[in-house]
Structure 1
Amino acid sequence: MRPKRSYLLLLSLLVPGAVTAERAFLTHQAADSVSVVDLETMERLAELKVAAAPVGVAIDNLGKRFYVTHPEKGLISVIDSESYKKVGEVRTGGQLFGIAVDSGDKHQVFVADWERNAVLVVNPESMLVVDLLAVGENPAGLTLDSERRRIYVANRESNSLSVLDADTPDLYAEVETGKAPYAVSISADGKLVFVTGIQDDSLTVIDTQDYSVTARLEAGDKPYGVATTPDNRYVLVVNQGSNDLWVYDQQTLEKLVEIPVGEMPESVAVSADGAYAYVTNWFSNDLSVIELATRREIKRLPVAESPRSLGRFVAD
């Protein structure tokens, strides 16, 4: 990473056209906007106004779009990931949080509906809801294992993880988690699922072979986002109450380090090469850049107000 220029606060389209570097797609709840940051140059590529209070985000490399959830409005904003122009909305009702895109043969979008205790299946071509899959109470974060065709959904009020088939309405399992689960991440090899528990400061580790709980680890104060590295080396958890990122060894499940970040960190994502982690700091309005080789924060980039970005918010 080679930071070159400062972040400019203006609301406009800055750099359209071809994209090669990894980008961070950020939702700004209080600013009613989304922004895109080039993670090589640390320049803001675009910022645009959207509907009120955006939270979740998912990137569709196949369709060259990204999708943003608005829990207060019951809709999904659909934005072109090259021109950074809004191309449509999916009005679903309900209260939408986590979102994931299946860019495989079926090409579908999954979104957690807190209000209806369901995962909605959206056709990205027609922008219509084509199915509702029942899950636990008040689903928040979700993630998709596209290779193994599983959807993992954290159910905040039922303290559980729902495991769904991505191709059929089948519910494979309902697994007990820590208290008030929020975010979910899968190991790169697909063998483990990690779920944060906000109200008991926990990280639940689940074996995907039989959906058994293999460990319930201590996390920091109010853990929210979780991510894994592509080399199956690290698990990363951001803690809102303690304003830090905890790094665990994925093989031993030992906590390795606590790294201070900004205020009220919400989400964490990892670069494709596993070299960097990126943390959205909800209350300090910035993006922390963590160098995983040295396990330290190397930059804190100012961004628009209240970045959240629930989901996998980094992509090329």
Structure 2
Amino acid sequence: MRALVLAALAASLCCAAPGPDFGSAFAEEAFVTNQLSDDLMVVDLGKFRSVTTIPIGGKPAGVAVSADGRFAYVTSPDAKAVTVVDAAMRQVVGRIEVGGGPLGIAVSPDSKTVYVADLYAAAVRVIDAASRSVTGSIAVGASPSGLAVTPDGKLLLSADRDDDSVSVVDTATRRRKAVIKVGTRPFGVTIDAEGRRAYTANVGSDDVSVIDIAEGREIGRVPVGMRPYAVALTPGRGFVTDQYGGTVSVFDLSSLKPVKRINVGDYPEGINATADGKRVIVACWESNTLSIIDAVELKVIGEIKTGDGPRAFGAFLRRTE
């Protein structure tokens, strides 16, 4: 297996093949960071095809599309920067120097603030989206990786990989208000639509921690496959990428019991559910593909070729209508 770049510390253009056309009912795009080919690929998920490829540089890894759909923000660990992409025009419109090792990234629900995890420091950088400048830094645990913001925008959660914990940050004061112990080496963190629970993929303990956000504590663990990377949620179910297993583990959100493992491409990493909850999109690093999962039937229904080393770590989907 080829050496991974920076973000693989967690475990440590291209045209799509013909596929079904879901039409206007599936008006969504994927913004996929291809780390080894140094670019960002935009994929029309309704037509199963690549729209364009945008050069980024710096080994892009993390990505977050703003809630208003206007911009995609891309972290480049090697360049120590965040690239701003106009999502509709499909072109780079800004570059923000953040230093360190920018990896995980999240945008506030009002699209005004961007949060960037510095893997090399116990900190999250804060960017003002309007001025495209760093306006502050928030102290968190060691090696922050995945980030997520509650739907009301009041709390930021940081998966602090080397502390086996999640930091809960008050976004108004920009101060850490709680530390929640989870499994070993948490990487991706995802918050549900109600802002009640969070889920971390723990690459060291091969499980998912379930967090009650209001109570500030872990309330359960779900066993999954080898080296889980990130979690996506659909109504009633959680989907977890198992890097070493080449699978996506599915579990029930109520009982926290495993449901199924779905074979996808090699070394799956980034994962998101579409807005309607009917599809789950998986970036597979080794096979250079996106696997498309039917979230109801729990089976792969298509595959799209990407660039080299698709990582897509973050909220990489965008509604187009």
Structures share fold, TM-score greater than 0.5: yes
What letter corresponds to residue 284 of structure 2 in structure 1?
N
1:217 aligns with 2:256: no
What letter corresponds to residue 96 of structure 1 in structure 2?
P
Structure 2 counterpart of 1:35: 41
The answer on whether the counterparts of 1:269 and 1:279 sit within 8 Å (CA) in structure 2 is yes
Structure 2 counterpart of 1:55: 61
Amino-acid identity (%):
32
What letter corresponds to residue 249 of structure 1 in structure 2?
D
SS in 2 for 1:258: strand
The answer on whether the counterparts of 1:52 and 1:70 sit within 8 Å (CA) in structure 2 is yes
Selected match of 1:249 from 235, 252, 257: 252
The answer on whether the counterparts of 1:65 and 1:81 sit within 8 Å (CA) in structure 2 is yes
Query: C-alpha offsets along residues 133-152 of structure 1, whole Å, 9 cap, x if unaligned?
Result: 00000001111113151111
Selected match of 2:157 from 152, 155, 167: 152
What letter corresponds to residue 237 of structure 1 in structure 2?
V
Query: C-alpha offsets along residues 180-208 of structure 1, whole Å, 9 cap, x if unaligned?
Result: 11000112222211001101111111111
Question: How far 1:103 sits from its partner (Å)?
Answer: 4.0
Question: How far 1:8 sits from its partner (Å)?
Answer: 2.4
Q: Describe how 1:174-185 pairs up with structure 2 within 5 A.
A: 174-185=179-190
What letter corresponds to residue 213 of structure 2 in structure 1?
T
SS in 2 for 1:221: coil
1:237 aligns with 2:240: yes
What letter corresponds to residue 35 of structure 2 in structure 1?
Q
1:169 aligns with 2:185: no
Q: Say what the alpha-carbon RMSD is for the aligned residues.
A: 1.6
SS in 2 for 1:90: strand
Give the Cα–Cα distance (whole angstroms) in 1 for the partners of residues 118 and 46 of structure 2: 34
Query: C-alpha offsets along residues 112-132 of structure 1, whole Å, 9 cap, x if unaligned?
Result: 011121111101121111010
User: 4+ residue runs of structure 1 moved beyond 6 angstroms?
Assistant: none
Give the Cα–Cα distance (whole angstroms) in 2 for the partners of residues 248 and 8 of structure 1: 33
Structure 1 counterpart of 2:102: 96
The verdict on how the C-alpha distance between 1:248 and 1:95 changes in structure 2, with shifts beyond 3 A counting, is same
The answer on whether the counterparts of 1:119 and 1:133 sit within 8 Å (CA) in structure 2 is yes
Q: Describe how 1:283-302 pairs up with structure 2 within 5 A.
A: 283-302=286-305
What letter corresponds to residue 163 of structure 1 in structure 2?
V
The answer on whether the counterparts of 1:264 and 1:281 sit within 8 Å (CA) in structure 2 is yes
Give the Cα–Cα distance (whole angstroms) in 2 for the partners of residues 7 and 94 of structure 1: 31
Question: How far 1:292 sits from its partner (Å)?
Answer: 1.2
What letter corresponds to residue 89 of structure 2 in structure 1?
S
The answer on whether the counterparts of 2:283 and 2:311 sit within 8 Å (CA) in structure 1 is yes
Give the Cα–Cα distance (whole angstroms) in 2 for the partners of residues 8 and 276 of structure 1: 21
Give the Cα–Cα distance (whole angstroms) in 1 for the partners of residues 198 and 106 of structure 2: 16
Tell me the TM-score normalized by structure 2.
0.90
Structure 1 counterpart of 2:232: 227
Aligned residue pair count: 298
The answer on whether the counterparts of 2:106 and 2:314 sit within 8 Å (CA) in structure 1 is yes
Question: How far 1:167 sits from its partner (Å)?
Answer: 1.9
Q: Describe how 1:42-81 pairs up with structure 2 within 5 A.
A: 42-62=48-68, 64-81=70-87
Give the Cα–Cα distance (whole angstroms) in 2 for the partners of residues 66 and 223 of structure 1: 25
Tell me the TM-score normalized by structure 1.
0.91
Selected match of 2:275 from 268, 272, 276: 272
- Structure of greater relative contact order (alpha carbons < 8 Å, 6+ residues apart): 2
SS in 2 for 1:157: helix
Structure 2 counterpart of 1:311: 314
Q: Which runs of no fewer than 5 residues in structure 2 stay unpaired?
A: 1-12, 17-25
Question: How far 1:49 sits from its partner (Å)?
Answer: 0.9
The answer on whether the counterparts of 1:267 and 1:310 sit within 8 Å (CA) in structure 2 is yes
What letter corresponds to residue 162 of structure 1 in structure 2?
S
SS in 2 for 1:248: strand
Q: Which runs of no fewer than 5 residues in structure 1 stay unpaired?
A: 1-5, 10-19
